[in-house]
Amino acid sequence: MHEKYQPQVVEEKWQANWAANQTFRVETDPTREKFYALEMLPYPSGKIHIGHVRNYSIGDAYAWYKRLRGFNVLHPMGWDAFGMPAENAAIKNNARPDDWTLSNIAAMRAQLQRMGFSYDWSREVASCTPEYYRWNQWIFIQLFKKGLLYRKKAVVNWCPDCNTSLANEQAEGGFCWRHATTPVEQRELEQWFVKMTNYCEELLAGINGELRDGWVGHVLKRQQDWIGRSDGAFVDFEVAGSPEVKIRVFTTRVDTIFGANAIIIAPEHPILKTLLSDAPNKKEVEAFAEKLAAMTPRERTESKEKEGVPTGLFAVNPFNGEELPIWTANFVLANYGTGALMSVPAHDERDYEFSRKYKLPIRRVIFGDIEDDGNSTLKFNELPYLDYGMLGPHCGDYTGMTSEKARQALAEFAKDKGFGESNVVYRIRDWGISRQRAWGTPIPMIHCPACGTISPEKEENLPVELPKDLDFSIGAPLANHAGFHAGVVCPACGADARRDTDTMDTFVDSNWYYFRYTDPKNTDLPFDPEVVKYWMPVDFYIGGDEHAVMHLIYTRAWSMMMRDIGLNHFGEPVKRLMTQGMVILDGRKMSKSEGHFVDPDEMIARYGADATRLSILFAAPVDREVDWKRVKDENGFNEYPAAEGALRFLARVWRLAHKWRERCLTVGDSQPVEFSEVQAAARRGTHRGLKRTTEAFEDGLRLNVAVAACMETTNALYEFDGTISGEGSATDAFVMREGLTALTLMLAPLTPHIAEELWAELGHAESVSKATWMAFDEKLAADAQLEIPVQVNGKLRGKLLVAPDIAEEDLKTAAFADEKVKPFTDGKDVVKVIVVPKRLVNIVVK
């Protein structure tokens, strides 16, 4: 141990030691309780950024802590290695995407190792390897056979920058998830879809049950909104004059149906074509539909202005026979509900706005109070009335019924008469996973031009490998690669056939990568269900919350689907989910192109990995944003005051340990029987620190508080050190050794390199990762004397120094006797005295 703390030397020494000894390698061990700590795997862009550093520092701290608590901890890392940037680099630089990706992985792995994260690298996976994507294909085929995956022609989101289709989740808000300023377009394509909608209820049940306590609330909320369950009813409206044509609408407020004034259908609705053949306003409607079709979804919603065109046709309200005009309008979505709705202006804001604009009649049918009679129809300023209430006049047999009752009764009536039924509609739609890109998992399906079938590749032929020599200078490299299709025969008829030339969405890869970590070398199955039984589900998962309705919802459904094909035995794959806050720099988002970003390499070089980790953990609670501050030193180099402070603290710990290391080694096993007041105070600092750290880890992972506790303990030990002249006694050495041992264990999850060094200096031959967390002693952590505040009428007036076990009566007496308290109580009526043992005394006077 050098006298001076040199982070680079210490860190490189222990990183080499860990690698040589495979310190963090774990095996399935049914005799031990497991803990699975997981961080979201990165895309190998080439460099890790400070957000990764924060994410992994948090995960690593927790993995370390659980290890010290005796768990068999699985803590793996891998690479989400398919995706566009590699393909773009291939197009631009004529490089091979696998070379580009693999060299990025090597560079980033080195960076992570230089940060000293405690991963079991023997379990590393990269999704772009055939060993991995082979199982994407295998699972794809099982899902296809099970009917959970199907092919359909559909209008899908298209990103012109990605040059591929996107899932709805990847086009939220009308923009591509990768290109935040590129509005998505709509295209009609044949696509493979995953039946997310089969799992709506199970996904919701998890949100409202199993996951309630373990998952961070806003992610559950967003998933719930995204699934978007609506309870309502379908009602069929016949077209006047052609009763064989029916328009089905969905409504959550069938109780308002007597106030309907129109049927409005989406311009893309297929029924429009049927209707138009003899619609009086055919031309106008077609022109309107064409105009809208030319717009991106974004453009359509950006202008809030509601626009519509009447078809000139009418539909019949099945409940009262009224003829309602059939319109088409821009605000009716083709892909929600039935693509058609009944307009009830008195009880819906949108319909109200639309009806006012086009001067359609408005009739109120729901009233807060039935006394509020039909005259209210004219009180437009009270409309729209959105609450439930009582059905008023014009509601036939239902007049006087509550909305709740009427919803049921009307739906039942419709069902009896065959023109509708109650129904549940979801906003979430099936997940389109075909991508028109070449750097992804080939879809293992064979299209036969001879017999017209599409059938899965034989399992023994998997993986369907991505050719190494794809030509990215032309469009559609897979379609145009002869070798990719050579020798492919139709499994159904044996004729020459062609492969599907799309690849899978990369979110398929990340659906189950953490299952693969449990059994990464398996060549017979994606993973052995028995191994998964031991390790899964994930106990702790942390990553960015941008994946709330992408990765985090896909992966839940995927786990359920894998269960349904017999791979695993549970539905929910993750018990506890946290999201870390963003890291911003000097008050604004980082931007590589503007040079406004933090380079982790630079920080490691200047402060070391330990100080870098410590500073970012200390900066804020894990779920809150960190505003990283940067200043320039006199030479123009970047300085990070937070890391500066962390380094200063670690050096302080180092110096104390260095000063005492020899004396600590002389301490025997037997504990001294008596301790002086200063020694007891030092032990109080030690045990209090342990207590605070333990609670910080156990209660919500409050790592910034854990760091503070380490600093407090260090300060207490320094204070103790200051009282010792010369060598000190054997008891002093015991107390210091106890303190340094505790401090080392407390630091191990936060700054593992220095902890390893301190641990070795304390005389241990094995890695601190094999050590056991120290239990704190509540008695030793307690104060020798308590400072009890005395309040008069709730205001602090004095403080008493008393023994912790003082009797309540004595405490009361002492409070009244206190010189500072007296002036406020003398000559006043004491109404009551509140004594909270060990906490305070409050005297209430009049």
Partner RNA sequence: GCCGGGGUGGCGGAAUGGUAGACGCAGCGGACUUAAAAUCCGCUGCUCCGCAAGGGGCGUGCGGGUUCGAGUCCCGCCCUCGGCACCA
Give Dmax over CA atoms of the chain in angstroms.
109
Return the number of the residue (230 or 455) whose C-beta is nearest RNA.
230
Give dist(CA 723, CA 678) in Å, integer.
8
- Compute how many other C-beta atoms are within 10 angstroms of the C-beta atom of residue 93: 10
The full DSSP string for 481-539 is -HHHHTT-B-TTT--B-EE---EE-HHHHTTSHHHHTTSTT-SSSSS-HHHHHHHPSBS
Q: Is 538 left (phi over 0), alpha (psi -120 to 50) or beta?
A: beta
Strand partners, 498: 447
Minimal distance, residue 307 CB to RNA, in Å: 8
Cα torsion through 415, 417, 419, 424, rounded to 10 = -10
Q: What does the H/E/C string look like for 730-787? A: HHHHHHHHHHHHHHHHHHCCCCHHHHHHHHHHCCCCCCHHHCCCCCCCHHHHCCCCEE
Contact in structure between 758 and 751 (CB atoms under 8 Å):
no
Return the number of the residue (239 or 711) whose C-beta is nearest RNA.
711
Minimal distance, residue 259 CB to RNA, in Å: 12
Return the number of the residue (378 or 834) whose C-beta is nearest RNA.
834
Minimal distance, residue 703 CB to RNA, in Å: 9
Return the number of the residue (222 or 394) whose C-beta is nearest RNA.
222
Return the number of the residue (371 or 594) whose C-beta is nearest RNA.
594
The closest alpha carbon to 579, from 550, 540, 629, belongs to: 540
Minimal distance, residue 145 CB to RNA, in Å: 31
Give dist(CA 99, CA 93) in Å, integer.
12
Return the number of the residue (499 or 797) whose C-beta is nearest RNA.
797
Contact in structure between 360 and 324 (CB atoms under 8 Å):
no
Return the number of the residue (488 or 584) whose C-beta is nearest RNA.
584
Q: Which two tokens mark 406? A: 């009427």
Q: Which residue has the tokens 């006298």?
A: 3
Q: Tell me the backbone φ, ψ of residue 41, rounded to 5 degrees.
A: -75, 145
Residue 89 DSSP SS3: helix
Q: Which two tokens mark 754? A: 């220095």
The kind and range of the H/E element at 311 are strand 308-316
Return the number of the residue (254 or 538) whose C-beta is nearest RNA.
254
Residue 528 DSSP SS3: coil
Return the number of the residue (304 or 521) whose C-beta is nearest RNA.
304
Return the number of the residue (480 or 793) whose C-beta is nearest RNA.
793
Q: Is 31 exposed, middle or buried (0-12, 13-18, 19+ CB in 10 A)?
A: exposed
Minimal distance, residue 333 CB to RNA, in Å: 4
Query: DSSP code of 376?
Result: G
Give dist(CA 478, CA 486) in Å, integer.
12
Q: What does the H/E/C string look like for 327-350? A: EEECCCCCCCCCCEEEECHHHCHH
Minimal distance, residue 585 CB to RNA, in Å: 13
Minimal distance, residue 210 CB to RNA, in Å: 20
Give dist(CA 561, CA 196) in Å, integer.
9
Return the number of the residue (26 or 262) whose C-beta is nearest RNA.
262
Minimal distance, residue 823 CB to RNA, in Å: 7
Q: What does the H/E/C string look like for 608-675? A: HHHHHHHHHHHCCCCCCCEEECCEECCCCCEECHHHHHHHHHHHHHHHHHHHHHHHHHCCCCCCCCCC
Minimal distance, residue 381 CB to RNA, in Å: 17
Cα 834 to the center of its chain, rounded Å: 47
Q: How big is the chain, counted in residues?
A: 846
Give dist(CA 798, CA 791) in Å, integer.
7
The rounded radius of gyration (Å) of the Cα atoms in the chain is: 34
Minimal distance, residue 376 CB to RNA, in Å: 22
Return the number of the residue (646 or 745) whose C-beta is nearest RNA.
646
Return the number of the residue (450 or 803) whose C-beta is nearest RNA.
803
Minimal distance, residue 368 CB to RNA, in Å: 19
Minimal distance, residue 783 CB to RNA, in Å: 8
Minimal distance, residue 88 CB to RNA, in Å: 24
Q: Which residue has the tokens 């402070």?
A: 645
Return the number of the residue (229 or 764) whose C-beta is nearest RNA.
229
Minimal distance, residue 338 CB to RNA, in Å: 7
Return the number of the residue (99 or 677) whose C-beta is nearest RNA.
677
Minimal distance, residue 169 CB to RNA, in Å: 9
Strand partners, 540: 37
Cα 71 to Cα 74, 162, 307, 516, distances in angstroms: 9, 44, 62, 21
Return the number of the residue (253 or 683) whose C-beta is nearest RNA.
253
Q: Which residues does 828 contact at the CB level (< 8 Å), separation at least 6?
A: 845, 846
The closest alpha carbon to 520, from 131, 803, 233, belongs to: 131
Return the number of the residue (252 or 455) whose C-beta is nearest RNA.
252
Antiparallel, parallel or unpaired: β 185-194 and 149-159? antiparallel
Give dist(CA 213, CA 215) in Å, integer.
6
Minimal distance, residue 661 CB to RNA, in Å: 16
Q: Is 564 exposed, middle or buried (0-12, 13-18, 19+ CB in 10 A)?
A: middle
Strand partners, 652: none
Return the number of the residue (263 or 279) whose C-beta is nearest RNA.
263
Minimal distance, residue 205 CB to RNA, in Å: 20
Minimal distance, residue 345 CB to RNA, in Å: 11
Q: Which residues does 447 contact at the CB level (< 8 Å), separation at least 6?
A: 454, 497, 498, 499, 500
